[in-house]
């Protein structure tokens, strides 16, 4: 069964009027798994994981972060982790069952911020996908360089595929590039642009201590629930030293390594990723 057959499209209105779009499916009274994608991605990055969680008995909320995909853009161009955490709390405000927050990269930072601010409903389990309290600055710069490139868009989808291949050279080129269109937007000038607000890069804090790393470390100290780090062993974001620090900061941490996967763990090795998170959730937040 396809994802479209398993879910319905929902929209949530944020306090500032921004509309957040999500795919929601699964039993209404089941524990909830909320998926939060990485920066520059859309909710479609979880398209392979979402059906697996629904089939495992969970209710799933998979949303486009503000400024991404089908969700609205911040009217003032501000995209802070605190604002993202507030959006998450609004989306979950009517949920009465246990919640697992699954966040990749930017989505993981949002989850940590929600923990740090003590937002309700509090997570019963936390899954961090290739993000740690102290990410490798070189890897962060690699991502931001890719996101800042191609400000003039692409003449066709093949140019976009070339750009992704240059960023992820270890990943095979797609046989059918049409799926990439979910991450692109056709504008009036006839060119394709990434499906996110470029203003979000205008106020990115530095990854060094004193920037967002210090905040993430303090937020990590406040985690009291079962936590899983899913790490791509070919990632340039997560180092062995950073994993060890994460363990020291968070005694509840478990680590699930995915061989052959880079920072985009879900897309690089989706079936292995699904096995890891389903097994973790069945132990700590059974459906």
- For 208-254, the pLDDT digits (tens) are 555 689 999 999 999 999 999 999 988 999 999 999 999 999 999 99
User: Does a structural domain hold residue 19?
Assistant: yes
User: Does a structural domain hold residue 224?
Assistant: yes
**44-80, pLDDT tens digit by residue?**
999 999 999 999 999 999 999 999 999 999 999 999 9
At 1 the pLDDT is: 43
User: Does a structural domain hold residue 44?
Assistant: yes
User: Does a structural domain hold residue 161?
Assistant: no
199 vs 118: CA distance, rounded Å: 28
**Percent of residues, the chain, with pLDDT higher than 90:** 77
User: Does a structural domain hold residue 128?
Assistant: yes
Residues contacting 244, CB < 8 A, separation 6+: none
Question: Whole-structure pTM over 0.85, yes or no?
Answer: yes
At 280 the pLDDT is: 97
User: Does a structural domain hold residue 55?
Assistant: yes
Residues contacting 57, CB < 8 A, separation 6+: 26, 27, 30, 287
Taking residues 176-194, what's their average pLDDT? 91
- How many domains does one find in the chain? 1
User: Does a structural domain hold residue 195?
Assistant: no
Cite the beta strand spans of the chain per DSSP E: 7-13, 19-25, 32-36, 59-63, 99-104, 125-129, 184-186, 192-194, 227-232, 253-258
Q: Output the domain CATH number for residue 271.
A: 3.40.50.1820
Q: Which two tokens stand for residue 22?
A: 């999500």
Listed range (50-59, 127-136, 151-160, 173-182) with the worst mean pLDDT: 173-182
Whether the bond between 121 and the residue before it is cis, its omega within 30 degrees of 0, is yes
What is the domain extent for residue 51? 3-140+207-284
At 175 the pLDDT is: 79
Taking residues 160-164, what's their average pLDDT? 93
User: Does a structural domain hold residue 201?
Assistant: no
| Number of neighbouring beta carbons within 10 Å of residue 121 | 17
Kindly tell me the sign of the dihedral angle through the C-alpha atoms of 255, 257, 258, 262. Answer: positive
At 131 the pLDDT is: 96
Using 50, 70 and 90 to split pLDDT, how confident is the model at 287? very high
């Amino acid at each position: 069964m396809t994802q479209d057959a398993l879910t319905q499209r929902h929209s949530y209105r944020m306090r500032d009027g921004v509309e957040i779009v999500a795919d929601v499916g699964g039993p209404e009274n089941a524990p909830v798994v909320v998926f939060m994608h990485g920066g520059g991605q859309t909710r479609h990055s979880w398209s392979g994981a979402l059906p697996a969680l629904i089939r495992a008995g969970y209710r799933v909320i998979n949303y486009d972060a503000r400024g991404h995909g089908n969700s609205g853009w911040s009217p003032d161009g501000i995209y802070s982790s605190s604002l993202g955490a507030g959006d998450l709390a609004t989306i979950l405000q009517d949920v009465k069952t246990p919640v697992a927050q699954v966040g990749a990269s930017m989505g993981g930072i949002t989850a940590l911020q929600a923990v740090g601010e003590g937002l309700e409903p509090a997570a019963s389990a936390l899954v961090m996908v290739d993000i740690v309290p102290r990410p490798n600055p070189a890897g962060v710069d690699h991502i931001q360089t890719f996101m800042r490139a191609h400000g003039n868009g692409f003449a066709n989808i093949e140019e976009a595929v070339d750009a992704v291949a240059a960023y992820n050279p270890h990943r095979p080129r797609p046989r059918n590039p049409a799926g990439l269109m979910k991450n692109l937007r056709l504008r009036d000038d006839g060119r394709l642009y990434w499906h996110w607000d470029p203003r979000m890069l205008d106020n990115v804090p530095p990854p060094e201590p004193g920037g967002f790393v210090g905040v993430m470390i303090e937020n990590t100290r406040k985690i009291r629930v079962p936590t899983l780090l899913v790490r791509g062993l070919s990632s340039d974001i997560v180092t062995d030293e950073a994993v060890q620090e994460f363990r020291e900061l968070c005694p509840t941490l478990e680590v699930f390594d995915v061989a052959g996967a880079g920072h985009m763990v879900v897309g690089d090795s989706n079936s292995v990723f699904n096995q890891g998170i389903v097994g973790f959730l069945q132990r700590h937040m059974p459906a």
